[in-house]
Amino acid sequence: MTGGFGASARRERRTAAGLAMASAVAATIAACAVTPARVLAAGDDGTVVPTDKGKVRGVQRDGYREFLGIPFAAPPTGNRRWTAPAAHTRWSGVREATAPGDRCAQNSSSTGTPASYAEDCLYLNVTAPDSASSGRTKPVMVWLHGGGFVEGSGGEYDPRRLAVLGDVVVVTVNYRLGVFGNFGHPELDGSGSFGLQDQQAALRWVRRNARAFGGDPHNVTLFGQSAGGQSVCAHLSSPQAAGLFDRAIVQSSFCTRDIPANLLAPGLPNVPPWEGPESLASRGQQAAAELGCDAPSTALDCLRRLPTARLMKIFGQFAGLSYGSRTLPDNPHLAFRTGKFARIPVLSGTTRDETTYIQAINDLAAGPLTAALYRQYLVRAFGRRAVEVAARYPLRQGRPPSRTWAAVTTDSGLACPTLERNRVMSRFVPTYAYEFADRTAPPVLPDVGYPYGAYHSADAFYLFDVRPPAKQPKLDLAQRRLSDAMIRYWTNFARTGDPNGKDLPRWEEFRAGAQSENIRSLTTELPLPKPVDFSREHKCDFWL
């Protein structure tokens, strides 16, 4: 499982200094036709299911069915490269759905997932509990994977515990990455939005087909972590996503404030999470020229003729989201502040030690920070405030500078911006806020001389298992208890827009400005979840 920012993301971003990490809800989407809920006939094991493009055959497991590698759009290859996802053709007979589709083109990751040159990659996976065959539809949860928009896939996540314990239908999605998903050019319609368009095509597929798998097409929760969570932020403010989902969960995502310099990789400056259209178009022209496609009138035709391998040379130069297209007309940061986003319940949070994971990747590649380099990083990221930051986050004997830098960037880059976003969103919609705080979470990277704690992406292992070649960390009994509670909270929220349920400690709605803002700390300590003074813990009065 990619944790949001793998080694390939680090390498590619390093080659593009100044690269943005991620570059009015309107008319409702027309309702899609759905088939009636399916009740199994005698002798029918439910592994063959009709979709709007043909039948698929999945696999019956212990307590659930899974259907892997279902195409939700035509292959975006050849002349379809950098176009909106088109409808897939119908197929005759029964299509096997027993293995995930190819991962979208990407480099290999630090967690062991292999490189891929596949552009025919728009596949999704459905996991349905056996109870979904009863005729009573279940909530649907659509998962958008992390990976910094340069790695990962839906197929590496195994949601069987989420589906069975939570009694929901789970859909995991592939979407175009890097230059294939986020490329921009002055002559290109939809610049920077092709991965987002893929995700919306998957949501439309869910609206059309959920019932056939026992899911409720009118109760869909979109959730994601890291790049997937940032994608959820984008869809909340995208007019073209209006009506495609009913609740949203945002986990550990850059959605508002600038990402501090040197956080994602050494040498990167401060960058906004959303790139403007002019910047993207200019970089697209420059990249095209580098590949010998510099004539404006023929540049796109030239680029579409290039083999995948050639484009992989600039793959990570387009590793983030941008606005200015029909899919995402406005900067979501502004949309949140002005209330121009989907008025649906939101569950939103971070992990307590977010960036230990990201810093560890950098340390493993380039060596740990020295005290001198730590001070240089502060100046590069915070300018005149560097002295103040150093006073708040002093170097201490026995604590590596890399760990102190991770504390700085956790608070300034993710924790406090998420608190700010929750405060803004709670003015308009029901908001539930959390911090995943199990500092004993099993790491997936080698030892780096300091504890990972509750690191970026650790929470995903408490919701999902993973499929090989990704590594599955082992949870102990207390962690499994926390995992079960998180699954119940997440799926209760998907069911009703409120995470509370029978035999669970009460989780109050977030209240901005209150003495206690009702942020829940998810730990292995009982009872859970515990209240936490999040602002004090992360020094948010200093950062906001």
- Which tens digits make up the pLDDT trace of 289-307? 999 999 988 999 999 999 9
The model's confidence at residue 39, banded by pLDDT at 50, 70 and 90, is very low
* Catalytic status, residue 508: no
With residue 345 as reference, give the H or E element that holds it.
Answer: none
Q: Is the dihedral of CA 315, 317, 318, 319 positive or negative?
A: positive
Residue 30 CA to residue 378 CA, distance in Å, equals 50
Inside any domain, residue 38: yes
pLDDT tens, position by position, 136-150 = 999 999 999 999 999
Residue 296 CA to residue 499 CA, distance in Å, equals 52
Is 405 or 19 the better-scoring residue by pLDDT? Answer: 405
pLDDT tens, position by position, 412-436 = 999 999 999 999 999 999 999 999 9
Inside any domain, residue 274: yes
Tell whether the model's pLDDT for residue 44 goes beyond 70.
no
Parent domain of 523? 7-543
Q: How far is CA 372 from the centre of its chain?
A: 34
Residue 467 CA to residue 113 CA, distance in Å, equals 10
Structurally, the chain folds into a number of domains equal to: 1
Residue reference for tokens 């728009």: 122
Inside any domain, residue 119: yes
Catalytic residue among 66, 151, 354, 420: 354
Inside any domain, residue 44: yes
Residue 291 CA to residue 421 CA, distance in Å, equals 40
Q: Nearest 10 degrees: CA dihedral of 385, 389, 391, 393?
A: -170
* Catalytic status, residue 456: yes
Average pLDDT for 381-386: 97
Residue reference for tokens 């990083």: 377
Looking at residue 22, its pLDDT comes to: 32
Average pLDDT of the residues of the chain: 91
pLDDT tens, position by position, 257-271 = 999 999 999 999 999
Catalytic residue among 456, 483, 521, 535: 456
Beta bridge partners of residue 350, listed in sequence order: 435
Residue 312 sits in a domain whose CATH number is 3.40.50.1820
Looking at residue 70, its pLDDT comes to: 98
Q: Is beta strand 59-60 parallel, antiparallel or unpaired with respect to 64-71? A: antiparallel
With residue 528 as reference, give the H or E element that holds it.
Answer: none
Catalytic residue among 23, 191, 226, 253: 226
Tell whether the model's pLDDT for residue 404 goes beyond 50.
yes
Looking at residue 472, its pLDDT comes to: 84
Tell whether the model's pLDDT for residue 40 goes beyond 70.
no
Inside any domain, residue 1: no
* Catalytic status, residue 151: no
Inside any domain, residue 2: no
